[in-house]
Amino acid sequence: MNEIILSEQFVVPTKADVANQTASLVAQVQEGEINPMRAYAIMAALEKVASDVKKQIMEQVLTEHERYGEKTTKVYGATFERCEVGVKYDYSEDKEWRMLQENIEAIRVEQKARELILKETGRCGKSSTTSVKVTLAK
């Protein structure tokens, strides 16, 4: 894979830039300039790179964001907002909640059994979306 270089000269694209780049790449595929499977594989790889990098640098991003002293900061043409995501609560200490949870789980078991019967007898609707799964080489 070609090296991705994020130097200080790299300009952070705007939404319009992203839309233009998207349109350009799609047009190249549609016009036969780029093989669609090659483009799809490259996009899958770039998504993986982006996801992994974002996860691994989050602590540094949070530290840098704190330097600005505001909840919302605009820099490099982008808006950064510190926020809580994925908040989880633990209700398991509450006896009534545990009882309700047990009831829910029992009903889910019954529901899954009913769904299996409906699938096996063909007495339910079915819809799906066709896609292509990409697995990158090791």
* Model pLDDT for residues 38-48, shown as the tens digit of each residue: 999 999 999 99
Indicate the pTM of the whole model: 0.76
54-83 per-position pLDDT tens digit: 999 999 999 999 999 999 999 999 999 999
3 DSSP assignment: P
Report the SS3 class of residue 75.
strand
The 3-class SS string of 83-136 reads CCCCCCCCCCCCHHHHHHHHHHHHHHHHHHHHHHHHHHHCCCCCCCCCCCCCCC
C-alpha–C-alpha distance, residues 33 and 109, integer Å: 52
